[in-house]
Amino acid sequence: MVAAFGRRGSKPDSCWCQRFRQHDEPSNQAALQRELDTATIPVGLLAYVNDQPAGWTRVVPRHTLPGIVCNRALQRILDEDDSAWWVTCFAIRRERRGVGVGVALLKAAVNHARENGASVLDGHPVDARRLKAKASPSALFTGTVTTFRAAGFREIGRTYPSRPVMRMDLS
């Protein structure tokens, strides 16, 4: 899995999909590893291209993400739903960007959430067309509107002009 994170894989204090979580581990990498080791349902998915790790996405029940459920801007848009799931982030290896890995991961996340009883799958991507300046790849870790639309998601609201909340109904 470390290989899916590319150059960030060598930095234990990179995000490691802990942005919306809380933990007591010595590093973000250790926190994710502990989750992977103890989870009864996988907390993320890996994408492979030619048998090599190409990317990762975290997809989990929304109620397990304090940074999402306690966010006031998101609270105005989201309904309380213990069976709602959330896609928090994508880590796509640089050489695999722009070839559909993100869309494939998102479609797999839809299936994963559905198979585990999710009513909806939401995400909070960046609408790059609405940004005032070009975004760096690291600023797009939550995904892009283009990726979410390509996977069949619809917009349900915005927390900021460049930040829509996208949803896939799974029931």
| Higher per-residue confidence, 168 vs 28 | 168
Interval 15-26: pLDDT, tens:
656 677 777 777
Q: Output the 3-class SS for 5-26.
A: HHHHHHCCCCCCCCCCCCCCCC
Name the burial class of residue 10, with classes exposed (0-12), middle (13-18) and buried (19+) by CB atoms within 10 angstroms of its CB.
Answer: exposed
68-90 tens-digit pLDDT: 999 999 999 999 999 999 999 99
Q: Provide the CATH number for the domain formed by 44-169 in this structure.
A: 3.40.630.30
- Residue 67: name the closest of 18, 111, 2 by CA: 18
pTM of the model: 0.88
Residue-wise pLDDT tens digits, 95-141: 888 899 999 999 999 999 999 999 999 999 999 888 777 776 667 78
3-class DSSP string for the chain: CHHHHHHHHHCCCCCCCCCCCCCCCCCHHHHHHHHHHHCCCCCEEEEEECCEEEEEEEEEEHHHCHHHHCCHHHHCCCCCCCCEEEEEEEEECHHHCCCCHHHHHHHHHHHHHHHCCCCEEEECCECHHHCCCCCCHHHHCCCEHHHHHHCCCEEEEEEECCEEEEEEECC
